[in-house]
Amino acid sequence: MKIFSLMAIALGLAGALPAAESGKSSPSFNRAPLQPKPYAELPLGAIQPEGWLREELQRMASGMTGHLDEWYPEVCGARNAWLGGDGDTWERGPYWIDGLYPLARLLDDPKLQAKAQQWVDWTLTHQRADGYLGPVELKPEERTRPAPRGAQIKNAGDWWPRMVMLKILQQHYDATHDPRVVPVLDNYFRYQLKTLPTAPLYAPDNPQGGTYWAAQRGADNLMVVLWFYNLTGEKYLLDLADLLQQQTIPLTTWFENGQVLKLQGAKKIGTGNTEDGPFHGVNLAQAMKTPLIEYQRDGSPRHLAATRKGFAAIRTYDGQPYGLYGADEHMHGTGLDRGSELCTAVEMMFSLEKMLEISGATEFADRLEQIAFNVLPTQVSDDQCTRQYFSQANQVVCSVGDSGFFNAYAGKSQVYGLLSGYPCCTCNLHQGWPKFAQHLWLASADGGLAALAYAPSRVTTTIGGGQTVSLREETLYPFDETVRFTIESPAEFPLHLRIPGWCAAATLKVNGELQPPAKAGSIAIVQRRWKRGDVVELSLPMTIRKSEWDQRSVAIERGPLLFALRVEETWSVVPPAAPATAPAEAGDRTLRECRPATPWNYALLESKLQNLAQGFAVVRSAAAGKTYPWNLAGAPVELRTAAVRLPEWTTPKNHAGCPPPSPVAMPANAAAETIRLIPYGCTTLRISGFPWINEAGSLLKNE
């Protein structure tokens, strides 16, 4: 009875809001006065991942993503305050659901959908009368038993953890059009508009206000407000958007001034709106979308220019060959032994997905694939049961011990475990692959469909003009150069296909007929009346490229993949150090260490680097397309080249240390060997930033 009346109220309120009456939310290319977007997300459920990507998602369902409530019950179990319990009130429960929710929909898995739904239901049915959403901090006298060990129970009123739940509610509405969502968000956003002037995003001394996390991650809040404005057209949301923008770090200005990024060793970044010390790497990944989210409000070209300047500065001061930056947890420079947090990978991916929709700039899709296909697969074990907190570009051992990171976490931040290092990543990693799958296909503003990142999939959706279209995308990309699309239902629409920035000789055929040439870094658009069975074949020749990194080391790339030295692995298990923090029923808390079983200290030869096509042989594995690709056994493609071992390059502390500055002198009695480079995403141990030897110079010196 009570449930019935709550629903009736919800429906009544929803009816009061104009656009919600239509029951349609997406795709939306922005309502005036927002700047129009060229691309928009399709409803959750339109895209079905296939091939290796589907297997990846199924492994997630069998691993941590499908079982975090059971394996990490002290935070994600029934006592979590987002389920009405007396436990964790902060980000980690919503983090998990932000990935579990889309995974459950993509796999059409009712059991996982039910797990995620409990969190949505509790949130939607426990809003405070004034609009506040989510748990509140319990007073000591309200507790009948101690909070679970390891639960975050302070700062429940911080604006930040609510931002994660807003992302979940947006996905839930797009997937279901649940009529409860609109009135709850309307109440919450009106509450924000009323409350933020006196309790802003950053107000450390005000229990009603937020922390620096909220001020640095405010774009997540703003993004959902703009989505809700597109849905409802309520003008107060534009006022709220302006208020949130004023209280969020001004990243466009900071990038323009070069302020954020010269941060190694910096003590302060010059505003009261930030923490002391170097910028936090995950905050930067989340904040990276801030300029373009704000662009939708004012239309200024400075936001895109500042974003590009920001990425260039990251490359200079902290850049790493896999497309992210040294930040273990804080910005820590270009050394190839610096760590990169798993949260940074998944948050940067989500930022890039949103930046791509708003700008249509293919460079963001190139960056998105670079992270998805290189660093993301390495940081989670194949069985999806353990993960790393930090990974390294040159990672030659993963064991308990000092690795020279900014935050050390008792030397356990590099080993694989459920909770090794710090547990944020255990909960946040789940959004990586599902949201990547959800952004493989986008609606285009001209009434068509766009494939701006590539992986095997099928899409069925309604496009502009109300036609239902269905396409299948078959490919072994990123390991293969060909992507084949088959039209499965007749319709007339433009098909948008990204030509990556690294691809100078792309060709496009429709039913075998060559189309006009498409430039690198552009979007090819094929407009026609499609018939069932029409085939579009996109060929993306992958030449080998090199780039320079710390100590003048060299990284080798081919297409979207970074290649790294194949190092055979010896795994061992370490018992958990502090079992007292885990409930008896919790999942496996052992740590997994990995040590090299083959040499790693190789230098490349300059003669091979001078002519990459001749110096590196591409060898395709017979297993390509038949096995799970992201490990040593399954690596679908490898490069072979000659290299020389450097006996002086050893492992100080627990890591490879910096490679010696290049060019390196040829060691005495050196003999060239053939080495195998495999995709970075297939490795656990590796060298990806190689020193190199100038053989001619060395010979002269020897004479």
Binding residues for Zn ion, rule: CB under 5 A, are: 341, 343, 424-425
Structure tokens at 36: 């129009």
Environment class of 676 (CB within 10 Å of its CB; exposed 0-12, middle 13-18, buried 19+): middle
Instruction: Report d(CA 381, CA 64) in Å as an integer.
Output: 10
Minimal distance, residue 164 CB to Zn ion, in Å: 13
Q: From residue 558, how far is each of 126, 194, 334, 477 by CA, in Å?
A: 51, 52, 22, 12
Distance (Å, rounded) from C-alpha 40 to C-alpha 645? 50
- CB of residue 239 vs Zn ion: minimum separation in angstroms? 33
Q: Which is nearer to Zn ion, 331 or 540 (CB)?
A: 331
d(C-alpha 226, C-alpha 220), whole Å? 10
CB closer to Zn ion, 122 vs 422? 422
Of 327 and 658, CB closest to Zn ion: 327
**CA 536 remoteness from chain centre:** 29
Give the nearer residue to Zn ion in terms of CB position, either 339 or 596. Answer: 339
Nearest distance from residue 421's CB to Zn ion, in Å? 8
Q: What angle do CA 359, 363, 367 make, to 5 degrees?
A: 115
SS3 category, 700: helix
- Residue 164 or 196 having the CB closest to Zn ion: 164
Return the number of the residue (327 or 343) whose C-beta is nearest Zn ion: 343
- Only one residue has tokens 């790497």, namely 281
Q: Which of 478, 312, 324 is nearest to 393 (CA)?
A: 324
The rounded Cα 384 to chain-centroid distance in angstroms is: 16
Q: How far is the CB of 165 from Zn ion (least distance, A)?
A: 18
Residue whose beta carbon is closest to Zn ion? 343
Question: Would strands 522-530 and 553-558 be described as parallel, antiparallel, or unpaired?
Answer: unpaired
Tell me whether residue 424 or residue 506 sits nearer to Zn ion (CB atom).
424
Which has the closest alpha carbon to 289: 137, 171, 421, 167? 167
Using the minimum distance from each CB to Zn ion, give the nearer residue, 355 or 424.
Answer: 424
Residue closer to Zn ion by CB (options 26, 286) is 286
Q: Shortest approach of Zn ion to residue 344 CB, angstroms?
A: 8
Query: Which residue's CB is nearer to Zn ion, number 397 or number 429?
Result: 429
Q: Whose Cβ is closer to Zn ion: residue 419's or residue 646's?
A: 419
Long-range contacts of residues 125-133, Cβ cutoff 8 Å, at least 24 apart: 125/3, 125/6, 125/180, 126/84, 127/184, 127/187, 127/188, 130/191, 131/187, 131/188, 131/189, 131/190, 131/191, 131/192, 131/194, 132/188, 132/191, 133/162, 133/165, 133/184, 133/188, 133/191
Helix (H), strand (E) at residue 544: strand 544-549
Strands 561-565 and 522-530: unpaired
**Cβ at position 162, least distance to Zn ion in Å:** 19
CB of 345 to Zn ion, least distance (A): 9
Of the candidates 334, 355, 198, 201, the one whose C-alpha atom is nearest the C-alpha of residue 288 is 355
**407 or 539: CB nearest Zn ion:** 407
Instruction: Map tokens 């407009």 to a residue.
Output: 527
Residue nearer to Zn ion on the CB measure, 346 or 453:
346
**Is the Cα torsion angle 56, 59, 60, 61 positive or negative in sign?**
positive
Minimum gap (Å) between residue 92 Cβ and Zn ion: 10
| Residue 617 Cβ vs Zn ion, minimum distance, rounded to whole Å | 38
CB of residue 264 vs Zn ion: minimum separation in angstroms? 20
**CA-angle at 389, arms to 384 and 393, nearest 5°:** 100
For residues 103 and 430, the answer to whether their CB atoms sit within 8 Å is: yes
CB atoms near residue 204 (< 10 Å): 14
Q: Where are the alpha helices (DSSP H) in 547-623?
A: 606-610, 612-615
Strands 340-341 and 390-391: antiparallel
Least distance to Zn ion from the beta carbon of 275, Å? 16
In the bound state with Zn ion, the residue whose beta carbon lies nearer, of 191 and 422, is 422
State the nearest-atom distance from the C-beta of 27 to Zn ion, in Å. 31
Beta strands 602-605 and 692-693: pairing type?
parallel
β-pairing verdict for 535-539 and 482-487: antiparallel
Give the shortest CB-391-to-Zn ion separation in angstroms: 12
Instruction: Tell me how far apart the alpha carbons of residues 334 and 411 are, in angstroms, rounded to a whole number.
Output: 21
- Our CA angle for 221, 222, 223, nearest 5°, is 90
Residue among 81 and 343 whose Cβ is closer to Zn ion? 343
CB of 461 to Zn ion, least distance (A): 33
Q: Which residue has the tokens 């239901």?
A: 121
Residue 552 CB, nearest approach to Zn ion (Å): 31
Question: What does residue 325 show for φ and ψ, rounded to 5 degrees?
Answer: -150, 155
**Nearest distance from residue 424's CB to Zn ion, in Å?**
3
Nearer Cβ to Zn ion (294/341): 341
